[in-house]
Structure 1
Amino acid sequence: MSETPLMKQYREIKENHQDSILFFRLGDFYEMFFQDAVTASKELGLTLTSRNKEKGMDVPLAGIPYHSSASYITKLVNKGYKVAICEQVEDPRTVKGIVKREVVKIVTPGTVIDVDSLDATSNNYLLSVKHLDNKTGIAYLDITTGEFKVLEIEDDSDYSKTFNELYKIEPKEILVEFNFYEALKDKFDDYSKKIDSKVTLVNKLRDPENFLTDYFNIVSLESFGISEAKAAVHAAGMILDYALSMQVDGDLPLEKIEYINITNFAEINSTTRRNLELTRNQREKTSYGTLLWVLDKCKTSMGTRFLKKIINNPLLEIEEIKKRQDDLQYFMDNILIREEIKEKLGEVYDLERLAGKIVLGNENGKDLTALKKSIISSLEIMDFLRETAFFTGIDTKTLTQIRDIIEESIKEDAPFSIREGNIIKRGYNQELDEIFKIMSSGKDYLLEIEAREKERTGIKNLKIKYNKVFGYFLEVSNSNKDLVPEDYIRKQTLSNAERYITEELKEYEDKIINSKSKVEEIEYYLFKEISGKIKEKREVLNKLSEILAYLDVIISFAVTAIENNYVRPEFVDDYVIEIEEGRHPVVEKLIGREDFVSNNVRMDREGNFIILTGPNMAGKSTYMKQIGLIQILAQIGSYVPAQSARLSIVDKILTRIGAADDIVSGQSTFMVEMSEVSNIINSATERSLIILDEVGRGTSTFDGISIATAITEYIHDKIKAKTIFATHYHELTELEEKFDSILNYRIEVEERSNSVVFLRKIVRGGADKSYGIEVARLAGLPKEVLLNSKKILRGLEKRKELIEKTVNVEQLSLFAANDMVEEEKKNLKEDLYEELLFDIENIDINNVTPMEALGLLGELKKKMEEIN
């Protein structure tokens, strides 16, 4: 059997898109054939059928309605597939034979334009990496918002800085050339698994500079300040070429390339972001219980997206920080204005993505009404802030024009579909109004024509009639046919009458018969014309969205500061961290402000290295993390949870907190620990803040102590960074006597009878004992285990004492036996006493029967007799 024209067309199109699942438009459906159908049916849960045999073989077939395709496309893309959308590019009603079809766009994880399928509070980044001349260029863009940024990294032989940026940006898709990917395959694959990102191999672009200048219609890339950043230019050319090839028949909402100088921001590497849980917690991988969760009071999704960027990029310039602080203070002081703007921001839609949809061409009527409402609210916000400089440079006239264009043309209840009419207001277009008039008053219009023709011809019995064969016509009796004017066109002759048509009647018939499709056609044309006018003014929308996102974040900071009693930190040029009554911003929200124990810290050149000792579960990690989080909060322009804070700028916040085996790379806990510490030591400067937790515990005790001591001395002598080192190795506290800048701090513990209470207060001095068994008791270990552990601990402590004593060997041999007998008796009594106390403490007096009580008293009496 020969191949049909349709299948021939399909195969020709599919030939150019072998790596994609092809959505082939057939009427109201997207159809998939052959292996695409098999794959889609499996991944999407579709019914797999087959169509007529082609060349003697069944053709697997699966289809979906085109109007609900977005969710199906999203599912496939999220599973790592590339989807090519093939549309009918001709009107089937006007074409004889096969309708022309073309692929109009290709959807990949980084080029999704259906914003309804995306997380509104996160950017959907496509990113490219290019290594050139010992520099790494990174470009990233969000097709839905028009954000297009580049950066360049130097001195990155191990590519740690490169991947730190990737972890910060979290792109959904990474473009990389084959050779570079092969050289760093393990790193890219590891990243891809951790962040759920797709790596796509692309070819080198020959002349990226000319490609970019042509696209943006500029003379030189100096317009964007990137002419000398060759690696970044290559990355930008690579990503733009790919994005254009995916968005085959549409424009991209890209107006400029923004160069990001990463040296303007404090470095927070991926380990620190994970340890401090800045935007994602380590358990559910959501924002709950993170710094973002505490700060995000934003009313718009634009604000939340901007807040994430701010958290990941603390500032280094004090003046920039003070500018944010001043703006924050303005909204703390002006309560009424703040509350009014909060309410109005709640009425603002996602301007960034609305503007992006208009440029991409996938906007609908509801999007334009949302845009109008957003502009109205924005103008009201601008009026509230007319005495400030927040909206400097915004063209309000253009905003008003956009508002008026939509107000005059688009219905308030415009539908999602732009192909089915009911979008354009009456009175906006004369031709459209005439068609609606005909549709709503057709009978009256025919009577009007009939009356006019009777008067014009003098034929009193002239009638306008209709049948399915001839449509509308004028019927004239034979007795009056001599009065028929020359412009009448004979249509049919009857025995007693003649039937005619006129140009006017023909036009009416065309209009009435084709009115619905005509209305849909005209409304679609007018809608796109209106969108085109707005598209020309998108620059002001982009600027407005930036300002509103910033306002949203600053007001969010103000609300957080008021609700949680935050204070304005003071920045000084001195080498200092001085925090009074500091609190962990997340923990205090989770457990309640009244239950959180605040603490002080002071670090300066005379004391820049804190060795922190104390038991687990007592608050060491919380204390260290809160210092790091307060520093980050301060450098992003927020107020901080403390009674007061006096800080200097830190260039990097480097942490080593907790440890776990890296199963993916096959590294042990100790190897991961040492790798992280190595990275810290190799990248820290005097201006950095280092937080270390239990370094050395992944190996034997003596190895651990020696490594921890050597690391402490190196940081103290060579790097001189402000450092907090929490440890169980009490031996490290001896370093305070040896080094001037090392200070001992400990968690205060109160011992009560046979238990301890962790006060969670940090005080000067080192801990002189461990409370591990007490922590185990609090954690619920069985009584037998706890008692046995105490016996073992006592034996180890005695052995240590014997080793440390410089006692004569002969003396030991003479007196050891008697001493050991007495020691054993003493230990036995102590064990029985502890067991007795343990039993008493664990009696549930509210749930014990009289008989059980007598039995317990008997057991207790017996143990007392054994002790005595």
Structure 2
Amino acid sequence: MDAALGAPEKMRARHEELTPMMRQYCDLCAQYDGSLVLFQVGDFYETFCEAAEVSARLLEITLTKREDSTGSYPMAGIPIGSAESYIETLLDAGFRVAVADQVQDPEEASGVVDRAVTRIVTPGTLTEDELLRSEDNNYVAALAREGESADGEEYGLAFLDVSTGDFVATGSSSEETIRDEISRFAPAEAIIDPGLEGFDGFDADCMVTPYDPSAFELEGARELLDSYFGTPEKRLASDAEISACGALLSYAEYARGGQDGRLDYLNHLTRYEPREYMLLDRVALRSLELFEPRAVGGDGEHTLLGVLDETACALGRRKLTDWLRRPLLDPDRIEARLDAVSEWTTLVGAREEVYDLLSEVYDVERLIARVSRGRANARDLRALKDTLDTVPEIRAAMEGVESNTLRELRGELDELEEVRDLIDRAISESPPIEITEGDVIAPGYDAGLDELRETEREGKDWIDSLEKRERERTGIDSLKVGFNQVHGYYIEVTNPNLDRVPEDYTRRQTLKNSERFYTPELKRREDEIMAAEERADDLEYELFVEVRREVADESERVQAVAETLATLDVLVSLADVAAKYGYARPDIDEKPGIDIEGGRHPVVERTQESFVPNGAELSPEERLAVLTGPNMSGKSTYMRQVALIAILAQIGSFVPASRARIGIVDRVFTRVGASDDIAGGRSTFMVEMSELATILRGASERSLVLLDEVGRGTSTADGLAIARAITEYVHDEVGAMTLFATHHHELTALADELPSAFNLHFAATQTDDGVTFRHDVSRGAATASYGIEVARAAGVPEHVVERSRALVAEDALENATDGGRAVGDDGTGSAPAPSEPMSDPLADELRSLDVANMTPIEALTTLDRLKREVNED
């Protein structure tokens, strides 16, 4: 791949011997080393040598050859008109693409046509709608580090969505915090400080791009930031943040290729503090399925974002994603959002009207970004105007709103009358896609243009009537007047009628069956039309560019309106979901604890015909729940729903419950579900232990910790010991609110030993036909796991099921007769002393059992009863 990205070796070796065009290609490859150069030749983008061989294979296009006086070179090309789909394939294959366009009219070139790279396309700098695969943000990140000692090091992290202008930054002295923030934003691409080349905190699908190390130098970064936003120290907290932001700006400008690199639509750089938001690390985001389903190939609708997303426009979807990515910690801000959602739930008519208006809103952030980059066409401006036209109507629909948030949002809806008026006066109602072919500027906007168009129109009207006049004058009924791009206007006469051609006809073109002529008057009119048309097209383009520039000058105001519309869209969406699905407004306070009545899993309840609600109560006095119950009874769903309800509450949403009180949760930790890291050489158990170490280091008394089957990846004894030790540490040292699901029933004894621990269980009803899971949670410990019944329900062959039952019965009998207690039944994980014999009546009953003639259900039930009696004894 590297060979394909650099200047072709065959060309470098003979650079001075190359033809001018091939020298130009070779120089561009060297200048944009690391990118695959698409080189415009006429209507195609061509690649040569190694790049051509790679392109032909990846894009499934024909590999040909270019031959000239200096040799033969492999060549492969793609049509410019369909280039974006091919570029997408190259990006997917891990390439960066430099697009080299002809920047000179070939007719004006005295030698080789000038070409220059006009854009560099990378996963993180996409701006084209055809390449942006979703409405979600597409971030490129920059990571920098300043400081020489371990104590003095500070990381700076910045994220930029080039397509919308969203630009945020943060910093920390903790590498773990930086990793968590990277997971939060999931960038598509990243550039890193040269001193951090070994950093491995980016996902595998994030392209880490080598970039000019000097871009991270502090003084240059400071100057670049100052030219955009003023003194960077007023916005950013450290030199590392300045370095990261400056390098990221430099890279975004570089991606514009040979164009003026400045990104004038970047009006805001926002620094945020990670501690201002609930932290959801990579593990939590995935296990709670906020944005992506855990199942490979799962439906994106079966995520928290999927079930909440009733947004009307792209602006709202991105804002909702951001809110889920960063739930709030400030109760006042949460309550302000809840007030707005609450009011929208009562204003049904107004809510529906605003939703309908928002559904007409285009992606204004990306529109205004294209306008500012000079890439918007006339249709884009019309779309912008159509969006801005909804603003007065939305304001009217919000007349009389009462919550502070909605009143403030209504006040922030700038109607931008001058921008709307300019576009309305200047741009045709139905303009063409191309801005160089006329009919872009509306009649009446420019008198000079109107005069040229009138001259053109009069000339064409004269020509339209010419055919009738010439037929009458010559008596040739088959005479035709036409036009083509090569010869212009003509009068066509068939061969049998050539003897009737007037003397003032001048031959223009000879065809097989006819001749084409022009007259002096036709030539004069043609010259007038062509001159007027050319001047009009040039003037239209100049006028359009000027209108686009004037609109771009108001980009900051447009972006502010987009921000307001996005927030409104999310609040309307949350209210709509609350009304449709019976969500309740949560009570928010700063006292640690979670108290939920009738809670439901927001995703699972949408996929099932019925869902059993469950409550949850965690407090400083009872903060650690040991959760037991059969497989498939709902333990994992229950734990996740508690976390999701807390997240929903802290983004300002109503929650799927009959009532809920949420004490601010600063972080959600999850160790739920098995996973491994094959590429990294880590087993499931190693991944589990790493995640647990993160929890034990990072959790606080305000955190919510979900632990599911800790220790199952090793031996039973080791697993039980690890699970018990972790439970004790979380209880004694961390103090976090914890839900701990386990099949180690020995751990239920912790409820008697740890003052803030208690037992919860999911019960099941067993009959001869199998096990019925009730899915409701109750106080106390479960009496059995029913693993064999779950195996049977899963379709395990009946003879395997029966053999499993027999083995369990034999093991239970052996344990019961061998000292009276199974290992660990006393909650300590150790066997009782041999000197503690079983009571005689129980021993006699055990000896009298005829297990061989019992049904498996009868044997297991009897032995389970006797086991409980032994423990009680």
Is the TM value for this pair above 0.5?
A: yes
**Of the candidates 205, 210, 234, which is equivalent to residue 243 of structure 2?**
234
Alpha-carbon shift at residue 178 of structure 1 (Å): 3.6
Q: Which residue is equivalent to 1:111?
A: 125
Alpha-carbon shift at residue 174 of structure 1 (Å): 0.8
Alpha-carbon shift at residue 39 of structure 1 (Å): 1.9
Give, in whole Å, the separation in 1 of the partners of 2:464 and 2:581: 75
Task: Between 340-349 and 41-50, report the one with greater CA deviation.
Answer: 41-50
Alpha-carbon shift at residue 27 of structure 1 (Å): 2.7
Q: Is the 8 A contact 2:221 2:243 kept in 1?
A: no
Alpha-carbon shift at residue 62 of structure 1 (Å): 2.1
Q: Which residue is equivalent to 2:812?
A: 797
Q: Which residue is equivalent to 2:331?
A: 318
Give, in whole Å, the separation in 2 of the partners of 1:20 and 1:266: 39
Q: Which amino acid aligns with 2:779?
A: R
Q: Is the 8 A contact 2:666 2:702 kept in 1?
A: yes
Aligned residues: 772
Return closer, same or farther for 1:751/1:7 CA change in 2, 3 Å cut-off: closer
**Of the candidates 160, 163, 166, which is equivalent to residue 182 of structure 2?**
166
Q: Which residue is equivalent to 2:196?
A: 180
Deviations 1:317-340 (A, max 9, x none): 000000000111121111111011
Return closer, same or farther for 1:282/1:141 CA change in 2, 3 Å cut-off: same
Query: TM-score of the superposition, structure 1-length normalised?
Result: 0.84
Written as runs of structure 1 = structure 2, the 5 A alignment for 1:418-497 is 418-442=435-459
Written as runs of structure 1 = structure 2, the 5 A alignment for 1:18-33 is 18-33=33-48
**Of the candidates 120, 125, 129, which is equivalent to residue 143 of structure 2?**
129
Give, in whole Å, the separation in 1 of the partners of 2:834 and 2:47: 89
Q: Which residue is equivalent to 1:459?
A: none
Give, in whole Å, the separation in 1 of the partners of 2:41 and 2:433: 22
Give, in whole Å, the separation in 1 of the partners of 2:54 and 2:375: 27
Q: Which residue is equivalent to 1:460?
A: none
Written as runs of structure 1 = structure 2, the 5 A alignment for 1:641-680 is 641-680=656-695
**Of the candidates 697, 710, 735, which is equivalent to residue 695 of structure 1?**
710
Q: Which residue is equivalent to 1:263?
A: 275
Give, in whole Å, the separation in 2 of the partners of 1:687 and 1:569: 18
Alpha-carbon shift at residue 731 of structure 1 (Å): 0.8
**Of the candidates 45, 49, 66, which is equivalent to residue 51 of structure 1?**
66
Q: Which residue is equivalent to 1:763?
A: 778
Alpha-carbon shift at residue 380 of structure 1 (Å): 1.2
Return closer, same or farther for 1:809/1:94 CA change in 2, 3 Å cut-off: closer
Q: Which amino acid aligns with 1:527?
A: F
Alpha-carbon shift at residue 214 of structure 1 (Å): 4.6
- Whether 2:161 is the aligned partner of 1:142: answer yes
Written as runs of structure 1 = structure 2, the 5 A alignment for 1:484-563 is 510-563=527-580
Deviations 1:421-455 (A, max 9, x none): 2222222223322332222221777999xxxxxxx
Give, in whole Å, the separation in 1 of the partners of 2:89 and 2:534: 33
- Whether 2:757 is the aligned partner of 1:748: answer no
Aligned to 1:217, the other structure's residue is in SS state helix
- The structure with more radius of gyration: 1
Q: Is the 8 A contact 2:601 2:641 kept in 1?
A: yes
Q: Which residue is equivalent to 1:336?
A: 349
Aligned to 1:732, the other structure's residue is in SS state helix
Alpha-carbon shift at residue 308 of structure 1 (Å): 0.9
Q: Which amino acid aligns with 2:319?
A: F
Give, in whole Å, the separation in 1 of the partners of 2:749 and 2:487: 109
Alpha-carbon shift at residue 7 of structure 1 (Å): 2.2
Q: Which amino acid aligns with 1:406?
A: I
Deviations 1:594-622 (A, max 9, x none): x1101111111221110111111001111
Q: Is the 8 A contact 1:684 1:721 kept in 2?
A: yes
Give, in whole Å, the separation in 2 of the partners of 1:551 and 1:681: 39
Q: Which residue is equivalent to 2:98?
A: 84
Consecutive unaligned residues in structure 1, runs of 5 or more: 449-465, 473-500, 838-868
**Of the candidates 827, 844, 847, which is equivalent to residue 851 of structure 2?**
827
Alpha-carbon shift at residue 201 of structure 1 (Å): 4.8
Aligned to 2:592, the other structure's residue is in SS state coil
Deviations 1:234-292 (A, max 9, x none): 00011111111111314423113111111100111111111110111012265221100
RMSD: 3.2
Alpha-carbon shift at residue 364 of structure 1 (Å): 1.2
Q: Is the 8 A contact 1:787 1:831 kept in 2?
A: no
Q: Which amino acid aligns with 2:665?
A: V
Alpha-carbon shift at residue 68 of structure 1 (Å): 2.5
Give, in whole Å, the separation in 2 of the partners of 1:808 and 1:49: 85
Q: Which residue is equivalent to 1:396?
A: 414
Give, in whole Å, the separation in 1 of the partners of 2:323 and 2:85: 31
Return closer, same or farther for 1:531/1:810 CA change in 2, 3 Å cut-off: closer
Give, in whole Å, the separation in 2 of the partners of 1:414 and 1:469: 26
Give, in whole Å, the separation in 2 of the partners of 1:163 and 1:201: 21
Q: Which amino acid aligns with 2:245?
A: A
Aligned to 2:169, the other structure's residue is in SS state strand
Q: Which amino acid aligns with 1:556?
A: S
Consecutive unaligned residues in structure 2, runs of 5 or more: 1-13, 148-152, 402-406, 466-482, 490-518, 822-831, 862-873
Return closer, same or farther for 1:23/1:801 CA change in 2, 3 Å cut-off: same
Q: Which residue is equivalent to 1:382?
A: 395
Q: Which amino acid aligns with 1:361?
A: G
- Whether 2:283 is the aligned partner of 1:299: answer no
- Whether 2:81 is the aligned partner of 1:67: answer yes
Give, in whole Å, the separation in 2 of the partners of 1:643 and 1:654: 25
Return closer, same or farther for 1:759/1:421 CA change in 2, 3 Å cut-off: same
- Whether 2:362 is the aligned partner of 1:349: answer yes
Query: TM-score of the superposition, structure 2-length normalised?
Result: 0.83
Q: Is the 8 A contact 1:109 1:198 kept in 2?
A: no
Q: Is the 8 A contact 2:319 2:570 kept in 1?
A: yes
Q: Is the 8 A contact 1:348 1:378 kept in 2?
A: no
Q: Which residue is equivalent to 2:603?
A: 586
Q: Which amino acid aligns with 1:827?
A: V
Return closer, same or farther for 1:834/1:430 CA change in 2, 3 Å cut-off: same
Q: Which amino acid aligns with 1:147?
A: D
Q: Is the 8 A contact 2:139 2:160 kept in 1?
A: yes
Q: Which residue is equivalent to 2:253?
A: 244
Q: Is the 8 A contact 2:368 2:558 kept in 1?
A: yes
Q: Which amino acid aligns with 2:584?
A: V
- Whether 2:352 is the aligned partner of 1:368: answer no
Q: Which residue is equivalent to 1:277?
A: 289
**Of the candidates 424, 431, 449, which is equivalent to residue 414 of structure 1?**
431
- Whether 2:235 is the aligned partner of 1:225: answer yes
Q: Which amino acid aligns with 1:118?
A: L
Deviations 1:150-206 (A, max 9, x none): 10012x2xx322222111111111101343122x3xx24xx442x454443541436
How high is the sequence identity, in percent, across the aligned residues?
Answer: 36
Q: Which residue is equivalent to 1:567?
A: 584
Q: Is the 8 A contact 1:173 1:200 kept in 2?
A: no
Q: Is the 8 A contact 1:612 1:724 kept in 2?
A: yes
Return closer, same or farther for 1:25/1:350 CA change in 2, 3 Å cut-off: same
Return closer, same or farther for 1:471/1:262 CA change in 2, 3 Å cut-off: closer
Give, in whole Å, the separation in 1 of the partners of 2:298 and 2:857: 48
Give, in whole Å, the separation in 2 of the partners of 1:469 and 1:132: 65
Q: Is the 8 A contact 2:626 2:760 kept in 1?
A: yes
Task: Between 609-618 and 242-251, report the one with greater CA deviation.
Answer: 242-251
Give, in whole Å, the separation in 1 of the partners of 2:646 and 2:333: 15
